Amino acid sequence: MRWQDFDSIYEALGLDQENAAKFAPGWQASQQTYPGDIPFFLCDAFVDEVVELSGLESEALNIFRAGAAAAAASELQCRFAWHCHWRLNLAGPEEGYLPSILQAGDKKSESWNYVAFMLATLAALPKVKKYYVNRNIPLDYLRQSMRDLKIWTDTAFERYGKLVCMNQEWLYNHMLPNLFTLGRLQFQFGKWQEPIMVYQHKQSKELCFFAKGNQEVSAQGYLSGNKNEKAAFISSFRAEKKEVCGNLVNAQGRVERSMRSINLQDWEEALQIGQPVLYLHIPGGAPLRKEDCLESIKTAYEFFPKYFPEFDYKAIISSSWLFDYSLSEFMPASNIAAFQSLFHLFPKAGATDWQTRERVFADPDLPMEKVPQKSCLQKIVKQHILAGGFWHSGGAFLMAKELVK
Closest by CA position to 357, among listed 346, 369, 365: 365
Q: For 211-223, how does the pLDDT look when each residue is reduced to its tens digit (9 = 90+)?
A: 999 999 999 999 9
What pLDDT does 1 receive?
54
Residue partners of 390: CB distance under 8 A and separation at least 6 = 218, 220, 222, 224, 226, 229, 353
What pLDDT does 233 receive?
96
CA distance 296 to 311: 18
- Report whether 326 contacts 156 (CB < 8 A): no
**Domains of the chain, first to last:** 6-177 (no CATH), 196-269 (no CATH), 274-399 (3.40.630.120)
What pLDDT does 270 receive?
96
What pLDDT does 100 receive?
62
CA distance 263 to 143: 49
- What sign for the dihedral angle of Cα 147, 172, 155, 165? negative
CA distance 217 to 201: 27
Closest by CA position to 20, among listed 93, 92, 94, 108: 108
What pLDDT does 151 receive?
86
CA distance 178 to 186: 10
Q: Which residues of the chain have pLDDT under 70?
A: 1-2, 99-112, 166, 403-405
Residue partners of 257: CB distance under 8 A and separation at least 6 = 232, 233, 247
